[in-house]
């Protein structure tokens, strides 16, 4: 347990915000799909 606690305090920004990372990944994925659709339409 001590190792886990230390890892959490070492990277609170990364492990503390998994939802933010998922949101960013979803936004990038959506932007890529939109760009692909625009290329196909042209």
Domain boundaries, the chain: 17-42
Polymer length in residues for the chain: 42
Q: CA–CA separation, 42 vs 34, rounded Å?
A: 13
Q: For the segment 3-35, what is each residue's pLDDT rounded down to a tens digit?
A: 555 555 555 555 557 778 888 999 999 999 999
Rounded distance between C-alpha atoms, residue 40 and residue 42, angstroms? 5
- Give 17-32 as a DSSP string: -HHHHHHHHHHHHHHH
- Rounded Cα distance, 16 and 38, in Å: 36
DSSP secondary structure code for residue 16 in this structure: S
- Is the pTM higher than 0.75? no
């Amino acid at each position: 347990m001590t190792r886990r606690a230390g890892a959490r305090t070492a990277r609170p920004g990364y492990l503390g915000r998994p939802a933010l990372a998922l949101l960013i990944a979803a936004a990038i994925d959506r932007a890529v799909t939109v760009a692909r659709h625009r290329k196909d339409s042209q």
